[in-house]
């Protein structure tokens, strides 16, 4: 029997966006009140539909940990139920014919962290995606009816950006640009302009990799400063699916150190192993303690 696979816990900060694009942060007690609101609703008041799927949520408090949480399930229509399969060779039978099964749901768990209004989210492989969760909260929380939408922004590790600000020289950058990443108008430098011109060759249906290196560049030179300014402009404002940079950072004693920084890995995540084997059912009793452990491990990032 295989070991339980690791699942990714992701962290998000909520905000409300109005019809003009203006954002407002939620109140400090938003999550507690919203979970209580959901817990008191009937099924029809907890169900929304998106892209042909029903999304059904529950709100509750886990007895063992005393933690409030949301359960948001992507409901399967009976025509999409998996089969009861006999490896000995008898005919597979759809679980839709199993009278003991009520409904099948693929879940995501949303757990308030208690830190700066953030939440931790863990989903199963087929569970609701982030856009589904945002839509469900927007619908059930009646934001859509008021011309608003509910948005969850990923919590970022700001260490990389602090290092970029400290860097006196960006000596090398490895970049991958995906075909759906149209160069941003925020980046004003020559690198972004070159990326745009290359992508335009394929009518912006082109992906490509490139590496820019300043060789054995020395900090605080005119050429080094120009190269570094260009690289910082692109890293901070450009569009890419990969960006790894070698940064020269000054030490207090006047020497320099080199830091290799991956600017895509700035999203705070945690790999949690839920259960002992891959056959263990993902119940709240297994999931909640693991997610709470993830919150404790990432507390420093959540307080940034």
Domain boundaries, given as residue ranges, for the chain: 6-155+268-302, 159-262
pLDDT for res 180: 66
Output the CA–CA distances (angstroms, integers) from residue 42 to 111, 150, 151, in the order listed. Answer: 21, 21, 24
pLDDT for res 143: 80
Q: In what order do the strands lie in the sheet with 169-177?
A: 208-213, 169-177, 242-250, 256-262
pLDDT for res 301: 82
pLDDT for res 170: 87
C-alpha 150/C-alpha 23 separation (Å) is 10
pLDDT for res 50: 92
pLDDT for res 71: 95
pLDDT for res 118: 95
Q: Among residues 304, 298, 303, 300, which one has the least CA distance to residue 8? A: 298
Ordered DSSP codes for 226-292: HHHHHHHHHHHH---SEEEEEEEEE-TTS-EEEEEEESSTTB-EEEEE-SSBTTS---HHHHHHHHH
C-alpha 70/C-alpha 109 separation (Å) is 6
Q: Which of the residues in the chain have pLDDT under 50? A: none
pLDDT for res 182: 67
pLDDT for res 46: 94
Phi, psi of 9 (to 5 degrees): -95, 125
Say if residues 117 and 14 touch (Cβ distance below 8 Å). Answer: yes
For residue range 197-234, list pLDDT tens digits in order. 888 887 777 788 899 888 666 666 777 888 888 888 88
For residue range 159-204, list pLDDT tens digits in order. 777 888 888 888 888 998 877 666 666 778 888 888 888 888 877 7
């Amino acid at each position: 029997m295989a070991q339980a696979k690791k699942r990714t816990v992701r962290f998000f900060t909520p905000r409300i966006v109005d019809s003009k694009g203006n954002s407002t942060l939620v109140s400090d007690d938003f999550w507690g009140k919203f979970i209580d609101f959901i817990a008191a609703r009937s099924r029809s008041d907890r169900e929304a539909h998106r892209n042909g799927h029903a999304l059904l949520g529950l709100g509750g408090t886990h007895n063992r940990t005393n933690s409030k949480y949301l359960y948001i399930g992507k409901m399967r229509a009976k025509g999409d139920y998996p089969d009861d399969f006999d490896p000995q060779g008898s005919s597979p039978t759809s679980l839709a014919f199993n009278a003991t099964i009520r409904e099948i749901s693929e879940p995501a768990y949303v757990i308030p962290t208690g830190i700066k209004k953030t939440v931790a989210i863990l989903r199963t492989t087929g569970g609701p995606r982030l856009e589904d969760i945002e839509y469900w909260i927007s619908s059930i929380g009646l934001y859509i009816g008021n011309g608003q939408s509910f948005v969850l922004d990923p919590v970022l590790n700001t260490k990389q950006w602090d290092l970029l600000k400290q860097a006196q020289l960006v000596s090398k950058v490895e970049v991958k640009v995906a075909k759906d990443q149209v160069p941003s108008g925020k980046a004003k430098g020559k690198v972004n302009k070159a990326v745009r011109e290359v992508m335009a060759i394929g009518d912006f249906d082109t992906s490509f990799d490139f590496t820019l290196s300043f060789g054995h560049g020395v900090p605080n030179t005119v050429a080094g400063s120009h190269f570094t300014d260009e690289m910082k402009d692109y890293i901070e404002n450009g569009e890419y699916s990969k960006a790894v940079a070698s940064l020269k950072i000054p030490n207090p004693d006047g020497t320099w150190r080199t830091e290799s920084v991956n600017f895509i890995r700035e999203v705070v995540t945690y790999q949690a192993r839920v259960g002992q084997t891959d056959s263990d059912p993902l119940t709240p009793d297994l999931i909640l303690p693991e997610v709470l452990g993830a919150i404790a491990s990432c507390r420093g990032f959540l307080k940034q």
